[in-house]
Structure 1
């Protein structure tokens, strides 16, 4: 005979299993981001490819992932959060398996784009499902645990990737994502309950198409600019096309009955502040997940395993600090904690800028820990703030908009930072009076930015390795100063828009845009 407590126990256990399924899916996402970044030199050695083609190994995933999150959130509200989650995590596992057998960089980029689409469906469906299962302080704890899970993936992804590359080759990195996705699929299929928004309408296909097209054209233009020049006709055409598609997207969203993105939300200061907060980690933290492995392996000569171990310093605070930040909301507002974390992160970037290539690896550890500590403070609070800006039944829209801003911003940031680093490296090569053919200097700078020091030396044999490393170090130094400045500005905006913003259970009111 069942006691009254037994149904409650079963319901709690079911919620925990749902949380574990979503966290497993969330764990696979940073692994799929950091792993290929560590594997990029090995992929280049095995498959070859131009710098642009190799850039798409990371950017194709981020671009498709970011551009599809809003659409996936709308689909989750309409057709069911469980259904979208299961379809997404199954597709993610299958594309990860296919990536392990990719024959060249073209297939690799194509499959990475497909993997990003599936990942968007899994994350949007899973986060929207969590928003329906947990309320108040329980929701804060759940989303903080989700942030910690991301931290685990970011912290140990490079180590796992380095170990797998060293012992089993770069293809095994994608097989590990397949295994995690399979576990999430089994858990989610067994315990997740179906939920949807009864008022949700169909997907805004014109809006989704124009938004994705604008992102794709802009990203491709930024990636190709270092090679072709910002004033070249192809780049100008791509940038113009991106602007036209973005304008078309805005017109569509203002005219359709059920837009993918409700532009009226931007009239609320707190909603605008959350979007600034979502974009801030891209320049203060996420780009380092790609730039640092490239520097450590390609420029400084560390093995993939050694570089992976060093990257733990950047992401280790993610294991505990997001949970501690959730507890700090008892006394401080989430907005204030987030802005403070960004300032700490900016200090770490300035500290890291003083570490030139060739210094002992131990010199990088403390600045990397400082950056990780700073970004971990808002990391566990951002998702909860995002859900709080719209009514609970529009959780799919809220998480979709926030995650799109965050991930699309990361993809754009990667492209922009890569282009800026290439430009700075080329400028330093000119400053060192390194002569060469007209086309050799820009390509050598691009190869340096990608960590391909041997190819850069073959293009400029008269320069010597020391001069090329010095040019890269100077460019990296200036790049970190730029990133620190962007992070300080982001912190100021977060303080201005969100300094009084608490998580829903702290404010004692229903989630409303304000």
Structure 2
């Protein structure tokens, strides 16, 4: 129960931030980039530290790391609730991302160490359902909170749940892996710092200028740090990444699919609430309710996709899912001023159905694509790829929306920069040219997502075998979910 609450809490804080942004912008009137960091700061810390926390949890104790993570998450969310400036909010969100990373990583290893056999399968089913429920209903819950309590309510509820879980976490049994490898500090630092600099360049590019020394210097430093990371991982005794897996076609095909999904769909969770507020004047509750059309299939489709495995190959299921995502995204370009929910329901549901199928398939497919002794490493690398793509996708989508909107407004309004700031903050506009500008920008983001999803289909067809044997999948999943464990009394 404690683990389920904690796992439910993490994605609610992720998806809910997008719904809160218009309220944050209305109170603090921040620059567009500062507003983006509310979402991106959480994501970048979450993504960059997951592998590190997996190693730390195995060495010092999974319950201890889980308790530290959920406490940090709860305290950070409480600071967000009472933040008096956009800077404090951004910093607290980044700290919350660190806590979320520790919570989710240690929570999954606690489940694996506590249960065996069929019980473990059921436990991970509950774990996954809680995660999916948080993703599915996060926008709606956040909309209710904003309507009832203002934007601060989006962070207040996760704070209360997080701190309550932290109080009762000593009831969980402690465990650790006596054979755990030492933490790869050089790899962790080079990867985390490089990722931050890359995301910094993407977010701040529209403000500084894409050819400015700050942006180009950040990108150059990112490239250097990634080269350092590669060299460290190549020679380290216990690396974060097994570089040999990068040459594994099946594993990389599945990983590329997960990253393409992030770039196709994640910007919608961040950008659509802002668009609905700016163009249609919708409340946070109204916007959150519309997004449920996209997120709700994430709860239903995994079960359906599991049944599909008896009749369809992995390649067919994933390719079909990506076609649904591409089709739904392309259809979503009907969005515009005055377009109602009835028109948007179809494309949002289609894209959601496609994404829901992948949720049931991708993780197991990534683990089952490699040799049994590399299953744990494959799972860690796959999640790192996916979360890194999530972070970059949010930054790219936001920056593209800002840049295109500003360019479309040039020469059409007296102060394009100020109007772009207002639109990006979700401030409702009655100026037709402004609504058209942000609509055009959103259409470009959506079309790029649709194209990326469609391009992934031939990659899947080429890299995946027609059918993976069920026995290999079961055996590998068992190995991946069963770390060496020493109970601590």
How far is 1:425 from its partner? 2.0
Unaligned stretches of 5+ in structure 2?
481-489
Match of 2:22 among 41, 45, 51: 41
Match of 2:300 among 320, 323, 329: 320
How far is 1:118 from its partner? 1.0
Say if 1:38 and 1:161, in contact at 8 Å, map to a contact too: yes
How far is 1:501 from its partner? 5.8
Distance in 2 of aligned mates of 1:371 and 1:286 = 12
How far is 1:301 from its partner? 0.3
Structural mapping, 1:426-465, within 5 Å: 426-430=406-410, 433-434=411-412, 436=414, 440-442=415-417, 444-445=419-420, 447-453=422-428, 465=431
What residue is the counterpart of 1:247 in the other structure? 227
Distance in 2 of aligned mates of 1:333 and 1:80 = 39
- TM-score (norm: length of structure 1): 0.86
Distance in 1 of aligned mates of 2:373 and 2:69 = 21
2:467 is the alignment partner of 1:487 = no
Match of 1:384 among 364, 371, 377: 364
How far is 1:139 from its partner? 5.7
Match of 2:79 among 98, 101, 113: 98
How far is 1:435 from its partner? 5.5
Distance in 2 of aligned mates of 1:382 and 1:187 = 33
Equivalent pairs counted in the alignment come to: 479
Change (3 A) 1:508 1:289: closer
Say what the alpha-carbon RMSD is for the aligned residues.
2.6
- 3-state SS, counterpart of residue 71 of structure 1: helix
- 3-state SS, counterpart of residue 194 of structure 1: strand
Say if 1:298 and 1:452, in contact at 8 Å, map to a contact too: yes
How far is 1:313 from its partner? 0.6
Match of 1:466 among 410, 413, 432: 432
Between stretches 42-51 and 53-62, larger displacement belongs to 42-51
Between stretches 315-324 and 74-83, larger displacement belongs to 74-83
What residue is the counterpart of 1:161 in the other structure? 142
Between stretches 135-144 and 269-278, larger displacement belongs to 135-144
2:129 is the alignment partner of 1:118 = no
How far is 1:308 from its partner? 1.4
What residue is the counterpart of 1:459 in the other structure? none
- 3-state SS, counterpart of residue 305 of structure 1: helix
What residue is the counterpart of 2:486 in the other structure? none
Per-residue displacement from partner, 1:209-231 (whole Å, max 9, x unpaired)? 11111111111111111122211
Distance in 2 of aligned mates of 1:395 and 1:43 = 42
Distance in 2 of aligned mates of 1:51 and 1:326 = 42
What residue is the counterpart of 1:5 in the other structure? none
What residue is the counterpart of 1:76 in the other structure? 57
Distance in 1 of aligned mates of 2:28 and 2:368 = 46
Say if 1:147 and 1:322, in contact at 8 Å, map to a contact too: no
Distance in 2 of aligned mates of 1:503 and 1:135 = 23
What residue is the counterpart of 1:406 in the other structure? 386
What residue is the counterpart of 1:17 in the other structure? none
Change (3 A) 1:497 1:73: farther
Unaligned stretches of 5+ in structure 1?
1-19, 455-463
What residue is the counterpart of 1:130 in the other structure? 111
Change (3 A) 1:435 1:265: same
Distance in 1 of aligned mates of 2:69 and 2:375 = 18
How far is 1:303 from its partner? 0.8
What residue is the counterpart of 2:3 in the other structure? 22
Match of 1:372 among 352, 358, 364: 352
Say if 2:254 and 2:365, in contact at 8 Å, map to a contact too: yes
Distance in 2 of aligned mates of 1:236 and 1:310 = 39
Per-residue displacement from partner, 1:292-341 (whole Å, max 9, x unpaired)? 11111122100111111111111111122112222322333344322321
- 3-state SS, counterpart of residue 320 of structure 1: helix
Change (3 A) 1:78 1:382: farther
- 3-state SS, counterpart of residue 296 of structure 2: helix
2:194 is the alignment partner of 1:219 = no
Distance in 1 of aligned mates of 2:35 and 2:325 = 29
How far is 1:349 from its partner? 0.5
Say if 1:227 and 1:446, in contact at 8 Å, map to a contact too: no
